[in-house]
Structure 1
């Protein structure tokens, strides 16, 4: 079972090197990340974008541009289309966002004729390894689905469970994060959380227990559960935190990194290939871990 960020990186190094198509790769932090991934044997990049700039940036990283496959593309739309096409043709098995808008990339991903659309909901999974907890967990969805309804929340949970299953988890605990543990008809998130706990047949294939509504402390702290006399399946030991909306997810994730010293990696699922989105503010370690997660999941998951 892979249950640490370093474990994800090590698995990527130890497996078959994935091929990553990078859309709009003409960006120094992106080039630094993919060069590091190539050097570590984590991924083989295909760089789509402004060819002259990409070659210059590679030379600045003391790399030979001729050792890389570079696909010239001018506009953001063209960069996205060509990178997505490489994945659709099977020439790359995962995708990375470079210096272009997320909307431009996802528009190409969702193109009905040439894109990577599937019947699954596209969702964002962030891995956080938090020292205070002594474990890694998935926070979802803090980036793609802004205010999901009940059915979308169920699909978000399933995507996260499938990720952990691919990493070797044989049992999974998920917690539906709310402000309190009581179901309140006036607070939709608590109503949805209660409904999700009752979908036991849906979770059986993942051997997953879902508890909720539950506050964050009771989701991750056995001591808090003991102190508050709270019991529920998997309470205090969550592997997945399902948030009610992206604002909660973004806030918990930023706090984990900025205040909690968490290591992290992020991936988008639901397309035919995993999609890596890295931020300029991400650490070099986080960028590398995100690429590693894409490589590992591309090898282990059947996403079409």
Structure 2
């Protein structure tokens, strides 16, 4: 159990084995500043992809950390295609979206012939240090799958808890969030939550516990659970919340991000390597923790190109 990102980083030291981050569209001041700060902390090596002149012009305005690699990608070419090739060739360990459209980044990643989507399923994964909660809390998709089916939710739980186990959480507890704790046919997400809980009891979701249907306050507060008479050994102590649909997670994450006491990180999972994909409005702190998260996942799972 890690209370902070600093504790997580200390538990999985990357000193001496920094992960190679392919920055697709690296002629971007925010992306370059983030990877250089991460390089200074010692957990990644920047692999910069884009027009050489544009990248060097931006680097000239920053405090550059050596070593870094630069792959010239002429204007008009998609740097994400080069990033994917580098990963497939074992020359990069994960990808960061720089100055390009998200669709241009994902197209080569998801390409069925030449991409990285080996499992045929990609989802978003958030990891958050929230003021008032006693440990890091993961959250399911807030950016990729708008209205997940029951089958999608099962895949999301499998992919995200696999990541949590790679970070040292041996048996993750997942709260399937709903507006109530009872199954109601008029509230479809309660039916999905109950089925996911049954699937976890049958061992169909790996070494994972799914609790649900359950509301956010009962999942994250023992006091609230006691007041409401909710009897569960996992009340107030879950490792991950599974949101019923994308908009719920998106709204929750933006509310949390507005509080400077909170620290968020996020990436895409399911592809051969993690993909750091933060909002354009994301703070430098969020960009850095997302790079740290991708570096740790790359280093601790078989998806890393040289893990």
Q: What does residue range 1-304 of structure 1 map to in structure 2 within 5 Å?
A: 2-10=2-10, 11=12, 13-14=14-15, 16-63=17-64, 67-75=67-75, 78-199=78-199, 200-202=201-203, 205-206=206-207, 208-259=208-259, 261-303=261-303
- 1:289 and 1:142 mapped to 2: Cα distance? 17
Q: In the comparison of the two structures, how many residue pairs are matched?
A: 302
* CA apart distance, 1:270: 0.3
* CA apart distance, 1:148: 0.3
SS at match of 2:147: coil
Change (3 A) 1:134 1:2: closer
What whole-Å deviation, never above 9, does each CA across 1:162-195 have from its counterpart, x for those lacking one? Answer: 1111111123211001111121112111110010
Q: TM-score of the superposition, structure 1-length normalised?
A: 0.93
* CA apart distance, 1:4: 2.3
Q: Which has the higher helix share?
A: 1
Do the aligned residues in 1 keep the contact of 2:221 with 2:237 (CA within 8 Å)? yes
Change (3 A) 1:25 1:12: farther
Q: TM-score of the superposition, structure 2-length normalised?
A: 0.92
Do the aligned residues in 2 keep the contact of 1:24 with 1:76 (CA within 8 Å)? no
User: For structure 1, which segment, 216-225 or 109-118, has the greater mean C-alpha deviation from structure 2 after superposition?
Assistant: 109-118
Unaligned residue ranges in structure 2 (runs of 5+): none
- 2:234 and 2:198 mapped to 1: Cα distance? 14
- 2:172 and 2:62 mapped to 1: Cα distance? 41
**Alpha carbon RMSD of aligned pairs, Å?**
2.0
Unaligned residue ranges in structure 1 (runs of 5+): none
What whole-Å deviation, never above 9, does each CA across 1:204-236 have from its counterpart, x for those lacking one? Answer: 742x22111111101101101000001235222
